Amino acid sequence: MRAISNNRKALNTAIALTLGLFMSFPIIWILILSFKSELDAIGNPLQVLLSSWTLDSFSTVQGRSDYLKHFSNSVIISLGSTFLALLVAIPSAWAMAFVPGKQTKNILMWMLSTKMLPPVGVLIPIYLLFRDYGLLDTRAGLVIILTLINLPIIIWMLYTYFKEIPVDILEAARMDGAGLKQEILYVLTPMAIPGISSTLILNIILAWNEAFWTINLTASNAAPLTAFIASYSSPEGLFYAKLSAASIMAIAPILIMGWFSQKQLVRGLTFGAVK
């Protein structure tokens, strides 16, 4: 590599930083607004910046709308659906990666094709089934739906990771006298864990932000944050400080997870087509 002058680097950094601040400005702005009083938050930008800081909005949001209930709904639904899907997906991806049959490729492609089914195409049957089986506005119902929706992505992602575990290493372990139990415990598990954990993170992000089924299948009891925030559309949405506080709390956990999983995200979302 050629040496790159510090001036050039400084220029690049300045341009890219401006771009980054421009893209994330709405997030930065609501972060600021969430620490302002309702009155200051609707002032002009200069007034907003100069006014005093307060934590009031965060406590008001919780006090008035039972924010924690919706937050825990989001946690339960996204974690529940992710773990359930992993439970089904791990053996399946494992089998396809290590013992591929003639139909493996077709099965994988077919699984992917279920992901292309537009949700609105099956909205009515799912809604009616949920109504008849008492699953409307329950967390269990959403866990089931989100498990099914994200199952193809999970299987695919695990498959691409498992594929990269060299089969030779298993033979080597066997030659050294490892039994099946030792093989799984000491050879396969450590190699599979990075893939499984990034699949887990990606899926939590997707489930947390899912906003079609969560809005259409819940009312007040099981509503996760996506549906709860949607209920702010009017007139509460005009209370900027409260809306900002609610929004910041809703996106913060995912922003942090996203920070750690950028690379895996690309791989998962492109079904392994871009690494």
Partner 1 sequence: MMSPSVLLLLGWMLVPLTMTIYFSFLRYNLLNPGTESFTGWTNYYYFVTDPSFTDALVNTISIFGGVLFITTVGGVGFSLLLDQPMWKSGLIRMLVIAPFFVMPTVSALVWKNMFMNPVNGFFGQIATFLGLQPFDFFGQAPLLSVIWIISWQWLPFATLILLTALQSLDRDQLEASEMDGANSFSRFIFIILPHLARPITVAILIQTIFLLSIFAEILVTTNGGPGTATTNLTYLIYVQSLLQFDVGAGSAGGVIAIILANIVAIFLMRMIGKNLE
Contact pattern from residue 144 through residue 183 relative to partner 1, giving x for each residue in contact according to CB under 8 A and a dash for the rest: ----x--xx--x----------------------------
Is residue 91 close enough to count as binding partner 1 by CB under 8 A? Answer: yes
Count how many residues are written for the chain: 275
**Binder of partner 1 out of 7, 45, 52, 102 (CB under 8 A):** 45
Q: How far is the CB of 222 from partner 1 (least distance, A)?
A: 16
Show the binding pattern over residues 199-238: x = contacts partner 1 (CB under 8 A), - = does not. ------x--xx-xx--xx--------xxx-xx-xx---xx
Given its phi and psi angles, is residue 189 left (phi above 0), alpha (psi -120 to 50 degrees) or beta? Answer: alpha
The footprint of partner 1 on residues 238-267 (CB under 8 A) is: 238, 240, 243-244, 247, 250-251, 254-255, 257-259, 262-263, 265-266
Q: Shortest distance, CB of residue 106 to partner 1, whole angstroms?
A: 10
Q: In terms of Cα–Cα distance, which of 226, 246, 233 is closest to 218?
A: 226
Which one of 37, 38, 42, 75 is in contact with partner 1 (CB under 8 A)? Answer: 42
Site residue total, partner 1 (CB under 8 A): 98
Q: Which residues from 13-32 bind partner 1, rule CB under 8 A?
A: 13, 15-17, 19-21, 23-24, 26-27, 29-30
